[in-house]
Amino acid sequence: MREVHAQAFGDSERVPALVDALRAAQTPLAPASLVATIGDRVVGHVMLSACRLDALPRLVDVLSLSPLGVLPEFQGQGIGTRLVAHALAGADSRGIPLVFLEGSPHYYGKRGFADATKLGFRPPTLRYPPGAFQVAKLSSYEEWMTGTFVYSDAFWALDCVGLRGEGLETAAT
């Protein structure tokens, strides 16, 4: 998985380190990793990790879909799309109401996500480019579930929030 993200995100150590940190974190919801394989080779990976929505009545356990990566030679073949679909289906089956992410509206908008700000959610930082803060509402979502999205500590510790435009054209396209 580390190699997938290192190649998909241009040999940056930040994203592989985020995967390691999220896997090791003690959170209310266990992280979920999904991989795409061809033969015995891992060619894609997506991770869902525990975050929170600071809603007025109470905190809501939600997930972040991050990171999503596909090896460059396998991009454009629908692998990222299938990983996102399986991740959202898995989150929905766990009763998760919302999945958030930072990414390309062009890419993720076609895969079940919408501009979270336009739907009444507040981003965790002002460093998001317009449209990058996105959400997928799942079947257990209720209308009172609005508020501020809060990343887990690993995202902040590794400076993986609001990347000022880096990687917004997803590594999975």
**Contact assessment for residue 101 and residue 113, using Cβ atoms and an 8 Å cutoff:** yes
Taking only the tens place, the pLDDT of each residue in 5-52 is 777 777 577 777 787 777 777 666 777 889 999 999 999 999 999 999
Low-confidence residues in the chain, pLDDT < 70: 11, 26-28, 163-173
CA distance 132 to 123: 10
**Contact assessment for residue 95 and residue 124, using Cβ atoms and an 8 Å cutoff:** no
The torsion angles phi and psi of 63, rounded to 5 degrees, stand at -125, 155
The torsion angles phi and psi of 116, rounded to 5 degrees, stand at -65, -35
- The pLDDT of residue 78 is 96
Task: Give the residue extent of every domain in the chain.
Answer: 2-157
**Contact assessment for residue 51 and residue 89, using Cβ atoms and an 8 Å cutoff:** no
Q: The whole model's pTM is what?
A: 0.85
Q: Is residue 153 classed exposed, middle or buried when 0-12, 13-18 and 19+ CB atoms within 10 A define those classes? A: exposed
User: The domain 2-157 is classified under which CATH number: 3.40.630.30, 3.40.140.10, 3.40.718.10, 3.40.630.10?
Assistant: 3.40.630.30
CA distance 39 to 36: 10
- The pLDDT of residue 93 is 96
